[in-house]
Amino acid sequence: MEVRKITFTDNKNSNSKIVIETNENIVGFLETFRLEVGEVIELNNAMYTVKTISEKQVDGKNEFLVDVEFIDLIENQPTA
């Protein structure tokens, strides 16, 4: 089954929706990252934790809807 779209949504920032639609980008993303709950991924130079993954079929192609949570690297930086 071909993947036609992956949509990433950060529930804490509803304006931050990232959509991967082109075959090249989808294949490249899926080869680089495992799309599993709890995984840390990089999107647009920011780090996110995958919270939930859902899948639906549209016209015989899969679409993945992924809820993510932004990781604030500055806030989580260890202090000396």
* pLDDT attached to residue 75: 63
- Predicted TM-score (pTM) of the model is 0.80
Higher pLDDT, 23 or 13: 23
Contacts of 30 (CB under 8 A, 6+ apart): 3
pLDDT of 11 above 90: no
Cβ-defined contacts of 77-80 (< 8 Å, 24+):
none
Percentage with pLDDT > 90 across the chain: 51
pLDDT of 58 above 60: yes
pLDDT of 80 above 60: no
Containing 17, the helix (H) or strand (E) segment is: strand 13-20
Please provide the average confidence, as pLDDT, over all residues in the chain. Answer: 87
